[in-house]
Amino acid sequence: MTQFVLQARGLTKHYGHVVAMDNCDFDLRAGEILAVIGDNGAGKSTLIKALTGAVIPDSGEIMVNGEPVHFRSPLDARKAGIETVYQELGVAPALDITQNLYLGREQRRKGLLGTVFRKLDKSAMRQGSARQMADLGIRVQSIRQKVDTLSGGQRQAVAVARVAAWATSVVIMDEPTAALGVRETNQVLQLIERVRENGLPVVLISHNMPNVWQVADRIHIHRLGRRIAVVEPDSTTMEEAVAVMTGAKQPEALA
């Protein structure tokens, strides 16, 4: 039986007269890459924010591993093992790679040095981040490099490495490749596949259809505030999916 890691039923969110989510459902299976596609303003980001505690839905239910949860803040979602990469906002450029990976979760030394003098355990954190970067196949000259010396793709890789390091149930990425060139985009896509290989399911929001068809196991099509179809890249063409996404075709028309 398929295990669902993250689910939502009947999510609704109104902003004044705007209905950002309209009885929206969502299902993420263990170990899959689920792409979420939809027109601008379809409500994708609102859905993601609801799933990560950044927006509290007017109604509806969210479940983690089948258990209902009520996220009041992004911190609650993080405690449930859900980590998010936000577009362009992921990293602090003046800090080095290790500091970025451990930001907000710094490790202190054992004993008096840690408890009284609050001393950081820099070597443990460096080893941890070197291991994390290696596990994801991210190559950098040095783990001490400041992030502003990295290319755009490497920076995004650091942001992905951080969420992958701390996520214990789900990794969510909102348009992680929007600002990147072709080669760098491919690096990040490979990274997303690595995260899946390491056992974490990934939710990928993207406007780039070829990218989506390249990595996704399933595709959630979003339109007018709700999920109108879930398709698989093997059995649905990009043209068909885009037609459904834009309303040119009814979802029932899909095989």
Partner 1 sequence: MTKLDDAVLLEKEDRAGPWRAALSSQIAGPLAALVLAIVIFSATTDSFLNPGNLSLIAQQSVVVGTLALGQTLVILTAGIDLSNGAIMVLASVVIGNLATDGNVLGALLAGLATCLVLGLLNGVLVSQFSLPPFIVTLGVLSVLTAAARLYTDSQSYPITSEFLTALNEGPAFGGVTITYGVMLWIGLTAILGYALTQTAWGVRVYAVGDNPRAAALTGIKVKRVLLSVYLTAAVVYAFAAWQALGRTPTADPSGYATANLDSITAVVIGGTSLFGGRGGVVGTLIGALIVTVLANGLTQAGIDSLYQQVGTGVLVVIAVAVDHFVRTRQTR
Ligand X SMILES: Nc1ncnc2c1ncn2[C@@H]1O[C@H](COP(=O)(O)OP(=O)(O)O)[C@@H](O)[C@H]1O
Is 137 an interacting residue with respect to partner 1 (CB under 8 A)? yes
Binding residue (CB under 6 A) for ligand X from 3, 15, 118, 168: 15
CB of 250 to Mg ion, least distance (A): 24
- Say how far apart CA 106 and CA 89 lie, in whole Å: 20
Q: Quick one: 17 or 183, whose CB is closer to ligand X?
A: 17
Residue whose CB is less far from Mg ion, 45 or 211: 45
Least distance in Å: CB of 139 to partner 1? 6
Interface with ligand X in residues 21-80 (CB under 6 A): 38, 40-46
Q: Cα separations (Å) of 73 from 69, 142, 206?
A: 12, 35, 24
Of the pair 42, 140, the CB lying nearest Mg ion is at 42
Distance CA 45, CA 227 (A): 13
Round to whole Å and give the CA distance between 15 and 183.
39
Find the binder of partner 1 among 3, 59, 70, 94 (CB under 8 A): 94
Crossing angle, helix 182-197 and helix 152-166, to 10 degrees? 10
For the beta sheet containing 4-15, the strands, ordered from the edge strand earlier in sequence to the opposite edge, are 18-29, 4-15, 59-64, 67-69
Residues 6 or more apart whose Cβ sits within 8 Å of residue 255: 235, 236
Contacts with 201 (C-beta within 8 Å, 6 or more apart), sequence order? 5, 6, 28, 29, 30, 31, 32, 33, 34, 169, 170, 171
Would strands 4-15 and 18-29 be described as parallel, antiparallel, or unpaired?
antiparallel
Q: Per-residue contact track with partner 1, 107 to 126, x per CB under 8 A?
A: -x--------xxxx-xx--x
Nearest to Mg ion of 45, 129 (CB atom):
45
* Residue 18 vs 56, nearer CB to partner 1: 56
Q: Does 236 bind Mg ion (CB under 5 A)?
A: no
Q: Which residues bind ligand X (CB under 6 A)?
A: 15, 18, 20, 38, 40-46
The site for partner 1 (CB under 8 A) is made up of 74-75, 78, 86, 89-95, 99, 102-106, 108, 117-120, 122-123, 126-127, 130-131, 133-134, 137, 139, 141-144, 148-151, 162
